[in-house]
Each structure stands twice: as C-alpha cells, then as structure tokens.
Amino acid sequence: MDYRKLGRTELNVSALCLGTMTWGEQNTQAEAFAQIEMAKQAGVNFIDTAEMYPVPPKAQTYADTERYIGNWFKASGDRTDWVLASKIGGPGNGIDYIRDGQLKHNRTHIVQALDASLKRLQTDWIDLYQLHWPERSTNFFGQLGYTHKADEDFTPLEETLEALDEQVKAGKIRHIGLSNETPWGTMKFLALAETRGWPRAVSIQNPYNLLNRTFEVGLAEIALREQCGLLAYSPLAFGMLSGKYEGGARPPKGRLSLYSRFSRYFNPQSEAACSRYVALAREHGLDPAQMALAFVTQQPFVTSNIIGATTLEQLQSNLASAELVLSQEVVAGIEAIHKALPNPAP
C-alpha cells in the first residue's frame, strides 16, 4: 500500500481510503466490522464517514454509520491506528430531521454536529472534518450550469472558518477539508485561511472516475499547486465501471438496482462509454473495476481513492487495485475513449 501526505500536514494516509456510506443500509454492523478488518490488514489506515450516512439518507437510519465505527473503536481499541474523516451536512437534499433541517455551517451548528459525531464515533477527536457540500447554492452533485442568486442568505465563509478554527484549538479536530466544492469556493477558503490565520483545507472530496473527469478542468491545478489533494469518491461510478450492469443487467443487490435516486450514471452515453472501458480492460486481461480504480489512484492530484463495497469479495478486489500499475497502452486506450465520449456523467 502506498501512503501519501494529507495536504501540508504530518499525516500519511493510504492511497486507498475505506468508504462507509452503505453501512447501516446495505451492510450490517458485523459486515462493517469485517470490512474494517480486511482493509486494515491490506494496509488501509484512512476511513471516511459522515453524519448523514448511510445513503440513501433517512431518519430511521440517520448516523448509524458513525455509530458502527464508534462501536468498532470501542471493541478493538485501535482508534490511534486510523486517520478518521467525517463530515457536517449542509442544507437541501430533503434532509429535515437533522438540526430541524437548518444544517447551516455556522458556529452553533458546527459545534452541535461535531459534538454529536464525536459521541457516536466514541472518540475525542476527528482527524479530518469536512464540509459535506456547500451551504450556498452552487453547482455540485452533477449540476454543470450555474445560476447566481445575488440575494441568497448563507453563512459567511469567514464565520465557518473561524468556528472550525475554534474546534481545532479545542483539540476536537486536527484538520479541515472541503467536499463537493467548486474552484471559487476552494480558493476562497484557502485565501481566507492564509490571510486570517485560520485552518487551511488539506483536501477536497469530490467525484472522480472514468465517466466524470470534470475535476481535471478547474480543480486539479488547485489540488497540486495548493497541496489540497483530491479524495476521490464514486471511483467506480456506483459500480457502473465494474461491468456488472452491462447490457442492461440489474443485479438484485446492486445499488443502481435498489435505489432509483442513483440515476446520475445511467444514461445512454454513460452506458456506451462503460462498454468501451470494460472491453478495454478485458482486452488487456484486466478486471474492469480494478482498471478503473487504478486509473483514479495514479492521478497526481489524488491523495486517496475512496473505495466502497457491500461484500468482502468486492472489497478484496478493490483493495487489490492498489498493486495494479496501468501500462502506457492501457492509459492510451482510456484517453482515446475519453476523447470520443468525454465526461458522459458529470
């Protein structure tokens, strides 16, 4: 397993990060524990969660993922072996059961959210605390167009950063990160941190995969020049790039089969691109999912690739991708497909 610096910090994180958003929905606590153990044995030391997990979010399962992780820490006593990341939610997405649906990134809500996460996780600190998505209206979660709302009321970024600074000084957070953020938002947070002496974002967790390489357009340069690396989520495009949905197949336990809300990667252009990527992998004797994961992991702006699985067999295969180095011929094939069918599912 390769290890990389988390931003400008002293922390080294594994090139693969264990994603957890299915725990409490598609996975039981026992299955979550088995995944943690397998990932740790493979050299993974980085685990990512969020207060709103599992996904799809609903009141009945709210925060169960953090509870599972906290129960693991209590049972195993290995909290110090892990770099733990979690997130505070934002407004929208139909979530009206967390903090009465307000979900502001202001001082009051940051303290409430963080303290609740710490209690569920059964720990005194979170290594990386991230803003799950912007409070302001902007383009994320697949939205490309931007509609400006000049009179929109959202928490000033200054207040958000100052509140996070207070929590860092209190020892509850070691570092902060962004998620589903734009180039403007990322640079604004970084500039404010440098001019005011507040915590500097060490990472940005955005989608990145063979069907969605939009991160390369405006954010890759920021990630490299500012040492605010990408924590890539959805590296398999919800499993599309594994080939299991080929030819219209709908495996009964597949996420895209179970939940209609995950339609982002289902369109004719995506399916056509997936067929070509899967064929390319098989032409070179590679597992399609491992090829897709290896491509993400080897990008210079990626700090860690967040892998998720619902079975140990899937997780074992995903973990094995860390040892795969794509040949120049395979990379050239990927680029040819990307040129012909660029970003079919942004």
pLDDT of residue 256: 64
For the chain, what is the HEC assignment?
A: CCEEECCCCCCEEECEEEECCCECCCECHHHHHHHHHHHHHCCCCEEECCCCCCCCCCHHHCCHHHHHHHHHHHHHCCHHHCEEEEEECCCCCCCCCCHHHCCCCCHHHHHHHHHHHHHHHCCCCEEEEEECCCCCCCCCCCCCCCCCCCCCCCCCHHHHHHHHHHHHHCCCEEEEEEECCCHHHHHHHHHHHHHHCCCCEEEEECECECCECCHHHHCHHHHHHCCCEEEEECCCCCCHHHCCCHHHCCCCCCHHHHCCCCCCCCCHHHHHHHHHHHHHHHHCCCCHHHHHHHHHHCCCCEEEEEECCCCHHHHHHHHHHHHCCCCHHHHHHHHHHHHHCCCCCC
**Looking at 53, 129, 233, 245, which residue is catalytic?**
53
Residue 71 counted as domain residue: yes
Residue 261 counted as domain residue: no
Residue 11 counted as domain residue: yes
53 is catalytic: yes
> Count of domains in the chain?
1
pLDDT of residue 55: 95
pLDDT of residue 142: 86
Domain carrying residue 165: 3-205
Residue 346 counted as domain residue: no
pLDDT of residue 154: 93
What pLDDT tens digit does each residue of the chain (346 aa) get? 999 999 999 999 999 999 999 999 999 999 999 999 999 999 999 999 999 999 999 999 999 999 999 999 999 999 999 999 999 999 987 788 999 888 999 999 999 999 999 999 999 999 999 999 999 999 999 888 899 998 899 999 999 999 999 999 999 999 999 999 999 999 999 999 999 999 999 999 999 999 999 999 999 999 999 999 999 999 999 999 998 888 766 677 666 656 666 667 778 999 999 999 999 999 999 999 999 999 999 999 999 999 999 999 999 999 999 999 999 999 999 999 999 999 999 8
pLDDT of residue 317: 98
pLDDT of residue 1: 97
Residue 13 counted as domain residue: yes
CATH number at residue 128: 3.20.20.100
pLDDT of residue 264: 74
Q: Tens digits of per-residue pLDDT, 239-297?
A: 999 988 887 666 776 666 566 666 677 789 999 999 999 999 999 999 999 999 999 99
Residue 242 counted as domain residue: no
Residue 149 counted as domain residue: yes
pLDDT of residue 263: 67
